[in-house]
Chains A and B, each alone.
Chain A
Amino acid sequence: MKLLTLNFLTCARKTCKSSPAAFPLHPRDAELEQVETEMNPVFLRNILPRLEWEAMRSITTELGLPSLPAETPDPGALLENDGNGDGEDAGSAGPSQIARDLHALLMETCIASGKLVCGNCGHEYAVKEGIANFLLPSHMV
């Protein structure tokens, strides 16, 4: 499961939905793998502002990965040689190192196996072969 997905996951239990501690889920005993994925600079530029940046930073820290920048990068920072930093001329400039690093971290770094833990109720969801299983045992429904 690519790290980006963690931005969109919470505990599945209804009672946890209203608790801020239920997001983000915390990876535990995670085995990571890099899955090469074609870079889509337009997609990256659009999705960065939609992320809960602090939550994603805390996840990269928990996993012992290179930290995300302190703040969401501006569109201009995603392009090589963007002199005035406004993100224009997207057609001619290639992706910057920052963009490549973000792509590698968010889109290519995947949790192959491990657990995702709810910070509110402590329930652990298993990840196997890159797929997380959010089915709840009947007593927890």
Chain B
Amino acid sequence: MDVDRAKGETYEEQHVHGVYEQIASHFSSTRYKPWPIIERFLKELPDGAIGLDVGCGNGKYLSVNRDIFIVGSDRSSNLATIAKRHAPHSVLVADLLHLPHPLHTFDFAISIAVVHHLSTPERRVEALESILQTLAPNGKALLTVWALEQEGSRRGWTEGDDQDVMVPCVMRGSKKGAARGEEVGGGGEDRVFSRYYHLYRKGELEGDVERAGGEVVEGGWERDNWWVVARPRVML
């Protein structure tokens, strides 16, 4: 099977976006504790810094620092609706590859556990280009993606495993859940939803950043994720 031709936008519509719309509030309830590394990045920004949270999910990073302005965006309108509860910032529904922002403008961007949902290498580089292009010349982006190298985690993936995986998410059936419009699974039974992820190998995110016209400032591995701080490449 020609995997790359089968992947792409339509694949992601079914295996990423459609799933998030259905599991939005369940997903949100499991993602509430901000990560130290991301909190620190946001809190160290100068007062008045302006930036983006691309793929903001339930918006948990939007109110970490009250002295900066963040425009959050997510592909899922159900998640954006949840994120909007985090005043005072703004939230939009937008596609990461078609962001509605002026280019070369923002002091910072964060994109936390997002780029790994793009299903081809070219689309992942395109995603990074899209984010880097929003940054002013001295702006920087914090990016995190799931790591292949996570033997210690519950899922236990490790080097040598297939990097393209479907990750299940179980939503416990409940009468309360069935009453809410956006969730499927009424009648009390559990439902399993699977989302597509590309697990990044060591060094792969750095390579993608460079292919996207960026430079890596620093990076590392933490809690089963690879992270980098990237900036637009300095033209000499």
Q: A interface vs B, CB < 8 Å?
A: 1-2, 4-5, 8-14, 17, 23, 35, 37-38, 40, 42-43, 45-47, 50, 107, 125, 129-136, 141
When A47-B48, A131-B84 are in contact, do A23 and B102 touch as well, CB less than 8 Å? yes
Give residues of chain B (65-88) contacting chain A, Cβ–Cβ below 8 Å. Answer: 66-69, 71, 73, 75, 77, 80-81, 84, 87-88
Chain B residues near A125 (CB, 8 Å)? 100
Residue of B nearest to A44 (CB): B48
- Known A-B contacts: A129-B81, A134-B100. Give 10 more (CB < 8 A): A4-B90, A9-B92, A10-B100, A14-B98, A17-B103, A45-B48, A47-B48, A133-B92, A133-B94, A134-B92
B178 at interface (Cβ–Cβ under 8 A)? Answer: no
When A131-B80, A131-B93, A135-B93 are in contact, do A43 and B48 touch as well, CB less than 8 Å? yes
Q: B interface vs A, CB < 8 Å?
A: 47-48, 50, 66-69, 71, 73, 75, 77, 80-81, 84, 87-88, 90-95, 98-103, 105-106
The number of A-B residue pairs with CB atoms under 8 Å apart is 93
In the assembled complex, the CB of A99 is this many whole angstroms from the nearest CB of chain B, namely 15
Selected contact of B95 from candidates A43, A46, A135, CB within 8 Å: A135
Find out whether the CB atom of A8 lies under 8 angstroms from the CB atom of B102.
Answer: yes
In the assembled complex, the CB of B185 is this many whole angstroms from the nearest CB of chain A, namely 24
Residue of B nearest to A9 (CB): B100
Closest CB pairs A-B (n = 4): A46-B48, A134-B94, A5-B90, A12-B100
Residue of A nearest to B67 (CB): A43
When A5-B71, A134-B98 are in contact, do A38 and B88 touch as well, CB less than 8 Å? yes
Find out whether the CB atom of B77 lies under 8 angstroms from the CB atom of A131.
Answer: yes
Selected contact of B102 from candidates A10, A45, A107, A129, CB within 8 Å: A10
Cα(A23)–Cα(B68), bound, Å: 22
Report which residue of B80, B98, B103, B106 has the largest number of chain A beta carbons within 10 angstroms of its beta carbon. Answer: B98
Find out whether the CB atom of A131 lies under 8 angstroms from the CB atom of B92.
Answer: yes
8 examples of A-B residue contacts, CB within 8 angstroms: A9-B71, A9-B100, A14-B98, A17-B103, A43-B66, A134-B73, A134-B92, A134-B95
Cα(A17)–Cα(B100), bound, Å: 9
In the assembled complex, the CB of B56 is this many whole angstroms from the nearest CB of chain A, namely 12
Report which residue of B68, B77, B92, B99 has the largest number of chain A beta carbons within 10 angstroms of its beta carbon. Answer: B92
Report which residue of A12, A23, A38, A125 has the largest number of chain B beta carbons within 10 angstroms of its beta carbon. Answer: A12
Find out whether the CB atom of B95 lies under 8 angstroms from the CB atom of A136.
Answer: yes
When A8-B50, A133-B77 are in contact, do A107 and B92 touch as well, CB less than 8 Å? no
When A2-B90, A8-B105, A37-B88 are in contact, do A50 and B100 touch as well, CB less than 8 Å? no
In the assembled complex, the CB of A54 is this many whole angstroms from the nearest CB of chain B, namely 15
Find out whether the CB atom of A136 lies under 8 angstroms from the CB atom of B77.
Answer: no
Find out whether the CB atom of B102 lies under 8 angstroms from the CB atom of A130.
Answer: no
Find out whether the CB atom of A12 lies under 8 angstroms from the CB atom of B88.
Answer: no
Chain A residues near B80 (CB, 8 Å)? 131
Cα(A125)–Cα(B98), bound, Å: 13
When A5-B90, A131-B92, A131-B93 are in contact, do A47 and B50 touch as well, CB less than 8 Å? yes
Chain A residues near B95 (CB, 8 Å)? 12, 134-136
Chain A residues near B73 (CB, 8 Å)? 134
Chain B residues near A23 (CB, 8 Å)? 102
